[in-house]
Chains A and B, each alone.
Chain A
């Protein structure tokens, strides 16, 4: 599901002998996103969500509430879903991040993407990247979820369009497609 291992990524900021980076200085951040190594110098307060969107120009990760409630900004950190608005980019240094751009391509969609298309699991699409990343990790952990488990898995993601019925159907269908495709 994720790209090559981050063999070349090393922990980022801070460097040097003084362990504290003053508020007006930048930190080195080196990390792997969708299998590609990235380096940037950013303020310590840069949220991972903003780092992905503004510094790396990966705008697939959407920012909704920016305080951890809506789930739109969910990415995978070392294959586990996490809110990118509740992570500092410097904290993610040295780790592997997977965003929605890393799940699949239009010609080779991830089972979750296929399922959301088949089952009309999205309308406006704003919340969708967060659902896709959350569900992609979920069906790895639980390849044959019940409807209740599917609902619990997406309980931290808000959608204002669909009423969730088709999203739940998409989760179940995604697991089905992944099972048909065999182990990833």
Chain B
């Protein structure tokens, strides 16, 4: 239950971090919050030759709300994003999802960009990035940067499309169009534990009718699964909305695998129930209460 030995670097600038990563030749892990990496190291599920600790890159500890997006730096802790008032106003989905990420104490250390790079299929923020159509900016040596769209960023379970010499320096979560409300709900065996199924929804309402609706699921597929619910709900009056068509659509589309925590059948059932609950929650808040 102790990590195996590793070479250690704690660069004090982004340039230095990228040099170290480039020189490491692939067998290095980036340590930010460490709330997923340290358990893996402690249990020796991974034994990297080098750990590159980016906790001194304090320039990357920002949450910036722009007119059309919330941009989160690599060293912004989940708690920083969760409690950022401007980010909440611009994109309530961030806080709605973050409140379900582990426990408050874990969120004090864990970083939002780190959880994206970790690419856990049950990680709430992967679904938020996917649902917002967001992107991750990856930097590498010599000032190179590339922007990777959410759809291309998640390559498989615990696998992002980051290259070994790249560092995810920020994530961009675009805001939804006016009239959109959101919700994130999940069911886990224990409070704060990995969800057996979770779903974020975004519903856009124009003149009292649904103009667009999409959902993103966690723990249902190797990478976050985005489902367009438009065929089932567009054109319906939001205050009389019957979400059963969306529930049926979701149950047709999802194809989860079973494991020790939940059978595939139960996960599919949950996906439907939670979709209905999330749609009702999102539009309920659109109708009256502040988001």
Partner of A153 from the list B1, B5, B8, B104 (CB cut-off 8 Å) is: B104
A87 touches B106 (CB 8 A): no
A156 touches B9 (CB 8 A): no
B104 touches A156 (CB 8 A): yes
- Residues from chain A with Cβ under 8 Å of B50 in the complex: 20
A152 touches B104 (CB 8 A): yes
Closest chain-A Cβ to B57's Cβ sits at a distance in Å of 12
**Which chain A residue shows the least CB distance to B77?**
A80
Knowing A13-B8, A24-B5, A43-B5 touch, does A68 contact B20 (C-beta < 8 A)? no
A45 touches B5 (CB 8 A): yes
B30-38, B215-223, B227-235: which lies at the A interface?
B30-38
Q: Count the A residues whose beta carbon is within 8 Å of the partner chain — how many?
A: 36
B279 at interface by CB-CB < 8 Å? no
**Which chain B residue shows the least CB distance to A158?**
B190
Closest chain-B Cβ to A117's Cβ sits at a distance in Å of 23
Per-residue interface assignment for chain B, residues 172 to 212, with 1 indicating a CB less than 8 Å from any chain A CB and 0 otherwise: 00000000000000000001100000000000000000000
**Which chain A residue shows the least CB distance to B23?**
A20
Per-residue interface assignment for chain B, residues 20 to 48, with 1 indicating a CB less than 8 Å from any chain A CB and 0 otherwise: 10010000000100110011011100000
A11 at interface by CB-CB < 8 Å? yes
A134 at interface by CB-CB < 8 Å? yes
A20 touches B104 (CB 8 A): no
A174 at interface by CB-CB < 8 Å? no
Q: List 10 A-B contacts (CB under 8 A).
A: A19-B10, A23-B5, A66-B1, A68-B35, A74-B105, A82-B108, A86-B38, A86-B109, A88-B8, A152-B104
